[in-house]
């Protein structure tokens, strides 16, 4: 019996990350995904997961500056300072500006390469799920934005997006977008009045998978000062929410000593119940795409 695949891209956020950052996430999703499917469907269901690792592109520069700062004098609250330093550093380094877009394009090339790998593993027209945390939500958003609004931002990542050969790579089969601790509300400020909302779902999804019910779930902890609801961020996002495509969902995440404070920002994809719920979201997409086949 042929297996039917769902493609899942996992995009990390700010802070120190190893290339294997998604191993525990992938293992838990692979374990929990079948439990959300009917028993008769489990042997046909396949989950192709691809991490998008971009931390190495900003790490060297940040570590050099951090070492210079810490060697200059004593400071208190080093843990919190390093967290803020990483968040601000990744944001500022990634942000494109006139004559300085190399890192932005490098990150998007990494995204494109990861999506190419996903297309090879899951199939060129497999339903696509994007799971992003923190600054990774902005990276994923901008990747989609640049594809959908070609030419509106002076070709900021045009070389990274020039050779996308499949529907999956172009985001045309995007069915599920889950953003955790999403700072898009802050990033939105850099666009001014020219900002155009991204389109969701993918423009080929309904034709290829008419029974799928696409969803953009924006999940935040009320104590996470970097994660914000977005369903009123623009009139278009408000319409998407009213049409059932976009949902802000408040979630209590993290261990007891972190869930009540800003450190909850790190807890979304380390929380077993959160990952089990994510596996259920992905299973719903699989059921819509393949459940009746």
pLDDT tens, 249-265? 998 775 544 444 455 66
CA-nearest of 144, 127, 111, 167 to 47 is 127
Question: In percent, how much of the chain has pLDDT > 70?
Answer: 88
Quick one: pLDDT at residue 176?
98
* Token digits of residue 278: 């994510």
Q: In the CATH hierarchy, which top-level class contains the domain 4-290? A: alpha beta
Global pTM reads: 0.89
Q: Do residues 19 and 53 lie in contact, with contact meaning Cβ atoms separated by under 8 Å?
A: yes
pLDDT tens, 103-143? 888 999 999 999 999 999 999 999 999 999 999 999 999 99
How many C-alpha atoms does 223 have within 13 Å on its Cβ side? 18
């Amino acid at each position: 019996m042929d297996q039917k695949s769902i493609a899942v891209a996992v995009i990390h956020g700010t802070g120190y990350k190893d290339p294997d950052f998604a191993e525990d996430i992938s293992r838990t999703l692979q374990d929990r995904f079948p439990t959300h499917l009917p028993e008769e469907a489990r042997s046909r269901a396949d989950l192709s997961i691809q991490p998008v690792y971009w931390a190495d592109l900003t790490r060297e520069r940040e570590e050099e500056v951090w070492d210079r700062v810490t060697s200059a004098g004593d400071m208190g609250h080093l843990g919190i300072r390093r967290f803020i330093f990483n968040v601000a550093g990744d944001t500022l380094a990634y942000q494109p500006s006139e004559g300085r877009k190399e890192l932005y394009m490098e990150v998007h090339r990494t995204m494109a390469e990861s999506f190419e790998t996903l297309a090879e593993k899951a199939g060129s027209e497999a339903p696509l799920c994007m799971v992003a945390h923190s600054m990774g939500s902005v990276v994923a958003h901008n990747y989609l934005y640049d594809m959908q609004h070609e030419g509106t931002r002076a070709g900021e990542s045009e070389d990274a997006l020039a050779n996308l050969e499949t529907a999956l790579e172009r985001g045309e089969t995007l069915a599920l977008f889950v953003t955790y601790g999403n700072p898009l509300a802050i990033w939105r400020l850099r666009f001014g009045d020219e900002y155009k909302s991204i389109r969701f779902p993918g423009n080929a999804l309904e034709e290829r998978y008419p029974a799928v019910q696409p969803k953009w779930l924006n999940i935040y902890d009320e104590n996470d000062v970097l994660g914000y609801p977005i369903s009123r961020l623009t009139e278009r996002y408000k319409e998407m929410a009213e049409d059932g495509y976009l949902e802000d969902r408040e979630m209590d995440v993290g261990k007891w000593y972190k869930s009540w404070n800003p450190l909850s920002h790190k807890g979304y994809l380390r929380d077993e119940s959160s990952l089990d719920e994510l596996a259920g979201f992905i299973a719903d997409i699989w059921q819509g795409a393949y459940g009746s086949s």
